[in-house]
Chain A
Amino acid sequence: MQDNLINVAYIFAAILFIMGIKMLGSASTAVRGNRISSLGMLIAIIVTLLRSGLDYRFITLGLVIGGLVGLIAAKRVQMTGMPELVALFNGFGGLASLLVGWSEFEKSAEADWFLYFVVFIALLIGGITFSGSIIAYLKLSGKIGGNAVVFPLQKLINLLVMTGAILAGFLLVFNVGENSSLLVWLLIGLALLIGVLGVIPIGGGDMPVVIALLNSFSGLGAAAAGFVIMNTVLVVAGCLVGASGLILSIIMCKAMNRSLINVLFGGFGSGDTASGSEVEGEMKALSVEDSYYVLEAAQNVVFVPGYGMAVAQAQHVVKELSEILEKNGAEVRHAVHPVAGRMPGHMNVLLAEADVPYDQLCEMEEVNSIMPTVDVAIIIGANDVVNPAAIEDESSPIFGMPIVNAHQAKSVFVLKRGQGAGYSGIVNTLFFRENCRMIYGDAKATISSMVAQFDN
């Protein structure tokens, strides 16, 4: 009877998760959606605690430690640190699923092949999610280089490791009993290795896809753990997250006109990718003082932020400058490319933090339709997402990728630290155009001095 009640409560929790995810997909309901889904989680936790015969001491301890760490991390994080934090939480979820599967494996006295099979899946997915997320975290936080790491025979080695993991899984499933503890350790080691090998060859600009995909994996890991302990709410919630994460990865891939396979195995951004045709002309530098006269006269300005804005923490001064421009009578927009930054929606989070009004944030298509009427497009640390080679040069590796058509604006200012190419190593033909001027230096400092020019 008690079991039935618990299961009914789990169904209720699952309904709340479904409603929550649905509502997270729309701006007006997102806050409520997140709270509804957290209510579902609370219900799932409480009814689980109502099961008889639980040792509450360690449960309390675990909840308190985890709760405090999670709360502090969530309150303290800077908005610029958001991609790392999401990656880290993701990794923890994956590892937790691995451990739940392992724990059940250790506990089960008499095992059947199905249990061992789902334990295998939980260990595999959980391990990949954990180590992959940790590598993503290290790359995003700059603790290790963000570039793609490629080495000889990489694909062969990856294939061997994957085959090894699957073999270990088969041995586990078909030799139920003997020496299986050893196999479990081996399997965990191989899963962790796959996660590491899988994420190191992926360059910084492809990170949004990886983060979304790892998110999907953490859901599937939870679903696999659900099969291990035969629990419906884990299966349903995990599977929902798995599906939504996959959709987000596909949206990100489409925004780059590449397939998931290409992103995962392409080694894009390792520096040895072809750079397309040669460009003619030269980059023309401009001083902040001279840019002032152009901005002062501009009626219509579009900011195009990229990862460089996050690095320079320039979002607040961008907001300041855009307010000044507005007061000066200009129409201001911020054009957000879907894959600008290092995680899905990265630029939106930063601009929202700086209190940039909602109606100034425009999606790519929206801005492109008015781009020819724009007086000045200011590119802040974005590169590939404004490279006209993507629509003009068929030999370019990024040909076909939808871009913000900044080159159609009457003038383009590119705020950039140096003359180098973007993460992908592709030369940006925009920089060589007649209507384009480069303003070198730290984006935050540059924009601050533009603001100062207006103040004078």
Chain B
Amino acid sequence: MEIILLLFTFVLAAFLGFELISKVPSQLHTPLMSGSNAISGITIVGALIATGQMNNDFSKWLGFAALVLATINVVGGYFVTDRMLSMFKAKKDK
């Protein structure tokens, strides 16, 4: 049952994603991409759980590698997007 609910959520989220972004001005294409790229770093949640295991198994080490990579993706992605967008913004205030 849980699986079906999750699939249901997946399908709804897909439709929502398509509806959210219809016409994006081209100057926002890069920030949209890098910003959503940072969101895809949500896999960090899975990595945290895997790294937090109380053992020293192979599984934990895989989780640790995932955690480092996902954190780079999240932190780097948000900061670089913010940097880009603030460039756009600074210009508009003039």
Contacts and interface: CB of A to CB of B under 8 A. Distances in A.
A143 interface: no
B59 A20 contact: no
Contact of A25 (B15, B21, B75, B90): B21
Contacts of A327: none
A183 B51 CA distance: 23
Interface string A29-56: 0110111011011001100110101111
Interface in A1-49: 17-18, 20-22, 24-27, 30-31, 33-35, 37-38, 40-41, 44-45, 48-49
B55 to A, nearest CB: 8
Interface residues of B, number: 82
Interface residues of A, number: 111
Interface string B43-64: 1111111111110011110111
Contacts of A90: 37, 40, 73
A107 B47 CA distance: 13
A232 B9 contact: yes
Nearest to A115: B3
B68 to A, nearest CB: 4
A74 interface: yes
A338 B26 contact: yes
B71 A65 contact: yes
Q: What 6 A-B pairs come out closest when comparing CB atoms?
A: A66-B71, A243-B17, A345-B29, A54-B52, A70-B76, A70-B75
Interface of B: 2-3, 6, 9-10, 13-18, 20-54, 57-60, 62-92, 94
Interface of A: 17-18, 20-22, 24-27, 30-31, 33-35, 37-38, 40-41, 44-45, 48-49, 51, 53-56, 58-59, 61-63, 65-67, 69-71, 73-75, 77, 79, 82, 85-86, 89-90, 92-93, 95-100, 102-104, 106-107, 114, 211-212, 215, 218-219, 221-223, 225-248, 251, 336, 338, 343-346, 348-349, 352-353, 355-358, 361, 363
Given A225-B43, A243-B17, 16 more contacts: A18-B20, A21-B20, A25-B32, A58-B52, A59-B51, A59-B52, A65-B71, A66-B67, A67-B72, A86-B37, A89-B73, A90-B40, A100-B62, A230-B6, A338-B26, A352-B84
